Structure 1
Amino acid sequence: MKRRIIARATVSATLVAALSVSLSASLAGCSRGGEGEARPADALETSSWAQPPLIEAAVRDGPMVVVRGRAGPDARVVLRGADGAAVAVGADASGRFELRVPATSGDIRLTPEVQVGEDAAPSPETLVLIRGGAGPIALIAAGEPTVRLDGQGMLDAVDSDGSAVIVSGLAAGTAPTVLIDGVRAVVVEASGGRWRATAPGGAPAVIEVGGERFEFPGFGAQSDFTPVRAGQGWRLTWPTGPSGRQTTWLPDRAP
């Protein structure tokens, strides 16, 4: 059965992803602390030590991408590719962690997880580093609006599974007015300044967020996780089940 996009959908399947380079020799050290927040603080159930990690920020820093977030106290946090290569670090006593991922010119996709002995608690999100973090950095998950971790803009992403479209972003104050093909959309505000607007049907042509106009380039056909340039941004499509797929469009950020 095809998975539909719905607000706050619960996702249990781990997205299958592939690393563009091997990270098997790249276990990095950890410096404590971290700033920024991609998900509200209460999204992590700290009462359970086996919860997946919460990625809060990812920033390109020279030859590395620094990934920060929270997990259970003293948990072992892993960012893992489909080939088994990984970088890992231990969270501190408050659950804070910092991982350093080698940045390359290629695209990198990693699944965050908490490791407990020989078992792992993987996240339903995939961390995507387009062009090794020189392009968009985002957390994608089936049925959920994409969370951008790079820079700031009026519009973070446009997601669709073919039956519904989610327009989403982050606002410093009140959520912006959103027009989809000239029709005002209902905007739902979430914790931490995040907002989303959902529309039924096919691909819109024009999206306006807070008065800024975005020409939407369409959804595309491929579904193999390969990011491609599409209009003034990047498009990424991936399978979400035996017959489903989700497409994300990430508009370019201003320099």
Structure 2
Amino acid sequence: MTDSTPTPENAPEQAAPSSQVPPEHLRAIRSFVLRQGHMTAAQQRAIDTLWPQFGVDYQAAPIDLNARFGRDNPKVLEIGFGMGTATVEIAKRLPERDFLAIDVHGPGVGNILKLMEEEQVGNIRVMRHDAVEVVENMLADGALEGIHIFFPDPWHKKRHNKRRLVQTPFVAKLLPKLKKGGYIHLATDWEEYAVQMLEVLSGFDSLKNTAADYAPTPAYRPETKFEARGKRLGHGVWDLVFEKTE
């Protein structure tokens, strides 16, 4: 979320954040691009001290989310949280919901854990892995109340459009994980990608748009620095919120 998401615009580094996130979990991944990033001492300390409590290691088997959070509350999957600032703010605004937040950016993983400690936020669990594999192997059908994908890499060159995350095959993997009445919320600052997102989501009979086309930004999603900078430069931002009807 925030400035980066799967295939994040603020790109991820390749090294694992700590020995608690095994390197074998970072195999070749299609939902994002791995690039270098700098891990600060504070971010590394947060991983070393907080991962056992708030981190979730990848496993090729379904996970009991209620057991991981210690309560039976609505669960929201967030794919691509960047540095975690907006994710932590959303979790504060929606304390009755639990958030499974996935990204591969090592400094981002450290930063979200650091922010969780500073803000005393306990309704987030963090993963550093390919979101596609997590969806395919770890999430039970009907486990989620919501799915957030904010500002995924637009892959703006036409020849790279096929690399975009929000495409029909991936959404088809996501939808069984949503409960009936659950929602999927996407946001982008790239208009052509927004058009594609709208076409993809509108192509599923089990999804209903909550707006005529693009939705007003829900109150729970804060404006990020990245988003505000784009608006100052004259860029638009498009939110899409669809509900699962069956």
TM-score, normalised to structure 2, is 0.33
Q: Which has the larger radius of gyration?
A: 1
More helix by share: 2
Q: Which has the higher contact order (CA 8 A, sep 6+)?
A: 2
TM-score, normalised to structure 1, is 0.33
More strand by share: 1
